[in-house]
Structures are given as structure tokens and as C-alpha cells.
Structure 1
């Protein structure tokens, strides 16, 4: 009997030891090659471990929140502006991920203490309050009357908030475990106890990326992370009519892959000409598939930039199937994910690079942008189910304008967040972030919006600061209702820097 107990004890210790070493430690020692704006929760966890490992030598600003936050500020730009204009030498870090809501920002708060922040910044927008879910679940309901318990249960569903099970199972149990049914409660207990269960759906993506980047073709991906193309490349790696790059040893030895669509070929062929001013080469693209291209060895005799020029382009709004998209950008070929690099990028989980879609509105007048906005974001739901959440948000803003403001659920957590920082005398800046002027017209002049602003303003006192800048960015700075383009982010940088800089003692 004693031997059995001893064996069982050793087994449990071994199980928890392996679980801790492999899933809590080892996976975060590997290079993170998941690009910005993908693999959200792994990137968040990886970034947290990275920040925690850095000795604090400067004042620290930590930006928390959802994609609203990390589309709004660039850490490097903000650091530079604060240093140049305010003589503030600070580190700016992000702990934000897509879909984050005030409940989960609240659950994150105790994680911040080991990071020793000197200021926490939290930009919010309508999407963060998840109010549209009421109308999705209860088409005839309202946010004035809906039962809060039902919205809490919805917020715990895996589809709506996987972070509750993947990232914050223990904190979620502590906060709202009493509102869970037995099956849900049991899952959270297992997720709290065993990292292999908690991370089972997220850790493998980075391992797949590592293997793919080193041994694969890099032709199956959701975000381009190759070299910056002077003429621009979009987020999925599609070029325009031209793209330029420098020759590399990898391209010389292995060539590179491009995706050719049937819409580029249009029942014929398409020539692509490569030139560096001295050497020229023409390749005929014949088949609608991923195609391997190999360049003339003469291109590799020097390091001169090579420019590829396609004979023609195609347009996604004229395409069909997976290639259909509602935009007017001229499209060329799709580059492999790590195109032009000798080694894949790593540690770019919060580093945003400009893409062609960030510049499509430059110089566009309001009338043209407005027509494009409705076409690109709200038309063709039957063909593009992915825009369903945008349609739901539009309906929610149009309906909530006729309701009384009710500070329930996520608004209660905003209050708890403010109280947390006030009690600790830690500077906290809550920002009612800019919103696209088009979507603002749906509800800005309503009693609901005015009362919601009064509620946010009421949170300010002591070390808690509130800043309302919901209407300071023109529509051309937005890619949708609430996400900034890269250009919009650059335009807002000095505005954020001035407000943040003034929070530090002179």
C-alpha cells in the first residue's frame, strides 16, 4: 500500500513537472514566429513572459485592451515622440489582443504588478463593451432590459471569449465561477490545473510556423511577414503590378513561390519581367496555382535591386470564391510568407508594418470614402459571412440610440478597473478612442451616447484620468468603424504623446 501511494505521488509530481516545464516554460523559450495580428493569445502570453524577463531600467507605459488598442498606438513611434518632445525616456509595451473586453482587462490587473508599470493606458470603443451581442441573442431585446446573467454566460462561451479558458481560467473562476454550470466549472478547473489542456489549441501554431518557415514553401498563411516591398504589399502578401526586392542566397538556391490566380490569367497567360537595370528575364505564368520562380544567375552577381513587372493585374471585387473581396485595389501575385528573407522574422508579435490597404484612402474625398465604406464593409453578407460582426455592430448602434444608458456588466468592470488603480495610486488613463465619423453618425447625437460619456467621465479622480477624443480623426484614417490605418495611427501618435507626456511630473 505504501509503495502504491509512493508511486502515485511520484507520478503526480512527474505529471505536473512535465506539464510545467513543457507548457509553462519551454514553449516560451522558442522563437515566436507568429506574426503581428495573428495567433493572438499565444502572442499575448509570449509578450507577457518577454516583458517580465526584462530588467526595469526606465519608466514603463503598458497599453492594455483589445485590437482597438494595438491598432491605435505604435510603441516605437510613441517612445520616440515622448523622448523628443517631453524628454521622457520610457519603454512602451502592449498587453492587448483582439476581442479583449473590460472583464478580461480586469482579470489581467494582478498580472501587471510584476511588470512595475508607471502608467497604464486603456483605449476603448463601443465594440469592447460587446453590447451588440444582446441583439444577436435576443433580436427583440434591448440593453436596457436584458438579464445580465445571460450576457455573462454568453461572455464565457468559447466562441466569444476563448481567453477565459486559455489565458485566465483561474481568475475567471475566482470572479464568476459561481455563475457557471457544473460542466463549465469543471473545464475551468482542468484548465487551471494543467497547462497542456489550457494551451492545447494555441501553442501548436507557433511550432507549425517554425517548421514551415524552415522547411516548407511558406505558401499557406494568414499574414505576410516577408521583406518590405517598396511598391507595397497587402496583409495577405498580394502585390500590385510591380514589386521590388534584393537578391538573396535563399532565392538563388531555392527560388521563390508566387500564387497566380485564374483572374490574372483571364483564360490566357501573363508575363512577368524581372530587371535590375543590367539583366532582364521574362517568365510566362501559365497555370492558376502556386508557382515556383527561379531567377537568372546573373541577378546574383551583385546586390542590385530587382524589379518585377507584371503584364496585367486583376481585381478582387470582380473575382469569385475565396478570391472575392470588396475592394478596388489592383492585384498582382501573392508572395510566399517569408519572401526576401534569409531567416524568418521572430519577436514581431506587437510590431505593425504598413500594407497597401493602409494607404488606399490617401487623398480620397469624404463622398468617395463614404460610398467605399458602405460597399467594402457592409454589402454582400451572403457572400462574405465574415462581415457579420460589422453588420451586427451597425444594427446595435442604430438600436441603442433609442435606449437609456445602463451601466451593466462590462461597464461595471470599467468601474472596478478604475477603483483598482485609484486604490494603488497608480496612474491610469482611460481613453474613449476615436471612432469613424460615419459610424458615429448612427448614435453620437443620442441620449445613450451622452450618458455613456458621463459615466466614463465619472470614473476620473485621483490617479485615474479620462480622455474623450472620439471625434478627432477624419474618416480616411480608419479601415473600418474603429481600427486605424497605419496612416491614421501615425497621425494620432503626436496627439497621444502629448496627453501621455503631460501625465508625468516635469
Structure 2
């Protein structure tokens, strides 16, 4: 009996030790080669561990929130503006991930203590309050009367908030465990105790990336992470009719892959003309799918810019299946994820680079943008189920205007967040972030919107600041209802910098 107890104790200690070493520590020692929108929660955890190990040598600004925060503020550009315009040498960090709502920002707060922030910035928008979920669950329901416990349970479902199980299981249990059924509660207990269960759905992605980047073709991915293409490249790696790059040793030895669609071929071969000003080559593309290409040896004799021009382009709005998309960008071929690099980049989990979709609206007149907005974001739901949440958001904004404002669930957590920082005398800036003027028009003049602004304003006081800038960016600076294009982000950078800079003592 004694030996059995010793064995069980040894087994449990070994299990917890192995779990801690491999899943809590070792996986974060490996390089992270996942861009922002490919492995959200691992990126968040990886970035947190990175910041936590950095010695604090300057004042720290930490940006929290959802993709609204990420697409609004560039940490590097903000840091540069604060240094150049306000003589403030500070570090700026992100702790944001897609879909992060006030409840989960609240659960993050105790994680911030070891990071010693001097200012926490939280940009919010309508999407963050998850108000549209009421109308999805109850088509005839209302947010001013819905049973809050039902909304809380919905917010804890894995489909709506996987981060609660992956990142904050223990904190979620303590905060809203009483709202869970036994099965859900058990999963959260298991996730709180064992990292191998907690991270089982996210850690493999980074390992797969590492293996792919070193030994694979890099042709299966969700976000391009290769070299910048001077002519521009889409977030999914699609070129236009022409694209340029510098030759690499890897390209010389292994060639590179491009995806060719049947829509580019349109029943006949497509020529690629390749030149660097001296050397020339022609490749004929005649089959759809991923194609392995090699350049002539002449292109590697000197490091000169190589330009490839396709005979023609194709358009995603005329395509079918997975290639269908409602935009008018001329498309060429798709490049492998790490195209043009000798080695895949790491530590890019919060780096944003411009993509061709960021420049679609730069010179558009308002009327043209409005037509494009409705076509690109709201038409063709039967063919594009992925836009369902945008359609639901539009419906929610149109319906909420007829309701009275009720500060429940996520709004209560905004107050808890504000009180947390006020009690600790840490500067906190809550921003009612810019929203696309088109979607603002659906509900801005309602009593609900006015009362919700009054509520947000009431949270200010002491070390807590509130800033309403919901109409500070023209429609051309938005890619949808609430996400900025890269150009929009650049336009807003000096505005954010001025407000943040003024919060630091001179």
C-alpha cells in the first residue's frame, strides 16, 4: 500500500512537472513564426511571456483589446511619434487578440501587474460589446430585456470565446463559474490544472509552422509573411499582374512555388515574362494548382531586382468556390508564405504590414465608396457565409436604435476595469474608437447611442480617462465597420500620439 501511494505521488509530481516544463515553458522558448491573424491566442500568450521577461527600463504603454485595437494603433509608429513629437521615450506593447471583449480584458488585469504598466490604453467599438449575439439567439429579442444569464452562457461557448478556455480558464471559473453547467465547469477545471489540455488546440499550430517553414513548401497558410512586394501583395499572398523581388540563395537552390488558378488560365496558357534589366526568361503556366518554378542561373549572378509580369489577370468576384470574393482587385498568382526570405521571420505576432486591400479606397469619392462598401461587405450572404457576422452587426445597429440603453454584462465589466485602475492609481485611457461613418449612420442619432456615450463618460475620474473620437476618420480609412486600413491607421497615429502624450507629466 505504501509503495502504491508513493508511486501515485511520483506519477502525479512527474505529470505536473512534465506538463509545466513542456507546455508552460518549452513551447514559448521556440521561435514564434505565426503572423498576427494566424494563431491569435498563441501569439497573445507568446507576446505576454516575451514582455514579462523584459527588464523595465522605460515607462510602459500597454494597448489592450480586440482586433479593433490592433488595426487602430501601430506600436512602433506610436512609439516613434511620442519620441519625436513629445520627447517621450517609452515602450509600447500590445496585449490584444481578435474577439477580445470587456469580460476577458477584465480577466487579464491581474496579468498586467508583473508588467508594471504606466498607461493602459483600451480602444473599444460596438463589436466588442457582442450585442448582436442577442438577436442571433433570439430573432425577436431585445438587449434591454434579455436574460443576462443566457447572454453570459452564450459568451462562454467555445465557438464564441475559445480564449476563456485557452487563456483564462481559472479566472473565468472564479468570475462566472456559477453560470456554467457541469460539463462546461469540468472542462474549465481540467484546463486550469493541465497546460497540455489548456493549450492542446493552439500549440500545434506553431510547431506546424516551424516544420513547414524549414522543410515544407509553405503553400498552406492564412497570412502572407514573405518579403514586401513593391507593387503590393494581398494579405493572402496574391500578386497583381506584376511583382518584383530580389533573388536569394534559397530561391537559387530550391526554386519557389506559386499558385495558379483556372480563372487565370481561362482555358489557355498564361505567359510569365521575367527580367532584371539584363537577363530575361519566359515561363508558360499551363496547369492550375501550386506550381514549382526555377529561375535561370543568370538571375543569381548579381543581386538585382527581378520583375515578373503576367500576360493577364483574373478577378475574384468572377470566380467560384473558395476563390470567390466580392472585390475588384486584379489578381495574379499566389506566392508561398515565406517567399523571398532565406529564413522565415519570427517574433512578428504584432507586426502589421501594408497589403493591397489597404489601398483600395485611397482615392475613392464617398458615393463610390458607399456602393463598394455595401457590395463588398453585405451582399451575397448565401454564397459567402463568412460575412454573416457583418450582416448580424448591421441588423443589431438598426434594431438597438429602437431600444433603451442598458449597462449590462460587458458594460458592467468596463466599469470594473475602470475601477481596477482607479484603485491602483494607474493611468487608463478608454477610447470610444472611430467607426465607419456609414455604419454610424445606422444608429448614431438614437437615444441608445447617446445614453451609451453618457455611460462611458461616467467611467472617467481619478486616473481613468475617457476619449470619444467616434467620427475622427473618414470612411475611406476603414476596411469595414470598425477596422482601419493601413492608411487609416497612419492617419490616426498622430491623433492617438497627441492624446497619449498629454497624459504623461511634462
The answer, yes or no, to whether TM exceeds 0.5 is yes
- The corresponding residue for 1:118 is 118
Q: How does 1:32-47 map onto structure 2 within 5 Å?
A: 32-47=32-47
- The corresponding residue for 1:407 is 407
Q: How does 1:21-420 map onto structure 2 within 5 Å?
A: 21-420=21-420
1:413 CA displacement: 0.2
Aligned equivalents of 2:35, 2:123: Cα separation in 1 = 23
Structure 1 residue ranges, 4+ long, deviating more than 3 angstroms after superposition = none
- The corresponding residue for 2:425 is 425
SS of corresponding position for 1:236 = coil
1:179 CA displacement: 1.4
TM-score by length of 2: 1.00
* Unmatched 5+ stretches in structure 1: none
User: Matched residue pairs, number?
Assistant: 506
1:84 CA displacement: 0.4
Aligned equivalents of 2:491, 2:353: Cα separation in 1 = 15
Aligned equivalents of 2:166, 2:323: Cα separation in 1 = 32
SS of corresponding position for 1:71 = helix
1:2 CA displacement: 0.9
Aligned equivalents of 1:374, 1:150: Cα separation in 2 = 32
1:438 CA displacement: 0.3
Q: Deviations over 1:33-55 (max 9, x none)?
A: 11122200000000000000100
Aligned equivalents of 2:23, 2:181: Cα separation in 1 = 28
* Unmatched 5+ stretches in structure 2: none
1:128 CA displacement: 0.1
RMSD: 0.4
1:183 CA displacement: 1.1
Q: Deviations over 1:355-376 (max 9, x none)?
A: 0000111111000000000000
1:422 CA displacement: 0.4
Q: Does 1:443 align with 2:437?
A: no
Aligned equivalents of 2:440, 2:57: Cα separation in 1 = 42
Aligned equivalents of 1:179, 1:340: Cα separation in 2 = 51
SS of corresponding position for 2:72 = coil
1:243 CA displacement: 0.3
TM-score by length of 1: 1.00
1:416 CA displacement: 0.3
Q: Deviations over 1:348-395 (max 9, x none)?
A: 000000000001111110000000000000000000000000000000
Q: Deviations over 1:43-80 (max 9, x none)?
A: 00000000001000000000000000000000110000
1:475 CA displacement: 0.3
